[in-house]
Amino acid sequence: MDKVVVTGGGGFIGSNLAHLLLEEGYEVTVYDDFSSGYRSNVERTPEFSTPEFKVVEGDVRDAEHVAEVAAGASIIFHLAASVGNKRSIDHPREDASVNVLGTLNVLEAARTNGVGKVVYSSSAGIFGELRHLPIREDHPVEPDSPYGVSKLAAEKMCLAYAKLYDLEAVCLRYFNVYGRNQRYDAYGNAIPIFAHQMLSGELVTIFSDGEQTRDFVNVRDIARANLLAGRVTNVSGAFNIASGDALTVNELVALVAAISGREPTIVHGPPRKGDVRHSRADISAARSGLGYEPVVGLADGLTEYIDWLRTESALGPDRA
């Protein structure tokens, strides 16, 4: 049984990946400081009755501890991060220390322990304002926030290590991810914010005119992309991971309202700093290079997510 490490494994995406890896027969070590992740995400549940994870509490900025945890692993899935444009604008030093220094520590831990592969969770935030759609991997990278800069720097570091050392690195550029275990966060993505506002009976705030477009991808597809990246051999590089489709924020709000059965009161705010106007990924490279194909449609994925919000007390017992 191969040992793998999932940094940030208590978080939204990391926990979904960790459960999938368990189901696929891996020995999984979750490494997380639980500053934003949840221990409940990696606890045994009736739905996930697989063997327990090995959970190690720690910070990726602690180089010695990361190296200790990486010993004996065949793959490190590196998801631990300070996430989001707005958060990085408010806290740029923390963003850089976690995303850049933390990634360097993971790479050094892999190199010194003979770990054969690092699968790094990157972001479409590296591209900045877009010049053409759909976005291919060779689109110019001009990030508009410290978050985009730090994710790009960490991605470049991963690819440099793959050239210099006996190590494969696959960087997965996520677009707008949503799904199970994604709790409300004021710094978070549109779907949990809109769902929280609707189910809580709050005003729904749309920044700008709502005609900006986004490519939304379900976390189950993201987890499977990581699994495929871990299994592919003799491949290093960067790949867009998304649905390949896009819709406007106004269309998204209407869909969330229909699925949740709520009639929201909508207000508009000014555009948010660091947000791009339009986004849609070209995923042909991931199809050919990793065998990736998204399978969760947006309507089905939103229904599943809103059902989870209602039943998992993510909003509190009086808000479902």
220: helix, coil or strand? helix
State the residue for tokens 């709000």. 253
Distance of CA 243 to the CA centre of its chain: 14
The structural domains of the chain, ordered by start, are 3-184+216-243+282-296 (3.40.50.720)
Helices (H), the chain: 12-23, 63-70, 85-90, 92-96, 102-113, 146-164, 190-199, 219-231, 249-260, 284-290, 298-311
Contacts of 148 (CB under 8 A, 6+ apart): 85, 88, 123, 125, 126, 127, 128, 274
Task: Give 21-67 pLDDT, tens digit per residue.
Answer: 999 999 999 999 999 899 999 986 555 555 588 999 999 999 999 99
Mean pLDDT of 105-123: 98
Distance of alpha carbon 118 from alpha carbon 105, whole angstroms: 12
Residue 315 has pLDDT above 60, yes or no: no
Mean pLDDT to the nearest integer, 109-123: 98
Tens digits of residue pLDDT in 80-104: 999 888 889 999 999 999 999 999 9
What does the pLDDT read at residue 47? 55
DSSP element (H, E) containing 76: strand 75-78
The CA distance from 211 to 196, in Å, is 21
Amino acid at 232: V
Q: Is 318 exposed, middle or buried (0-12, 13-18, 19+ CB in 10 A)?
A: exposed
- The answer, yes or no, to whether residue 14 has pLDDT greater than 80, is yes
**Residue 169: strand pairing partners:** 118
Q: Give the three-class secondary structure for 121.
A: strand
In the set 26, 147, 178, 292, the catalytic residue is 147
- In this predicted model, what pLDDT tens digit does every residue of 176-206 receive, in sequence order? 999 999 998 766 789 999 999 999 999 999 9
Rounded to whole angstroms, the Cα distance separating 107 from 156 reads 12
User: Pick from 101, 79, 102, 98: which is nearest to 87 by CA?
Assistant: 98
CB atoms within 10 A of CB 267: 9
Whether 147 sits among the annotated catalytic residues: the reply is yes
- CA angle, 215 then 218 then 219, to 5°: 125
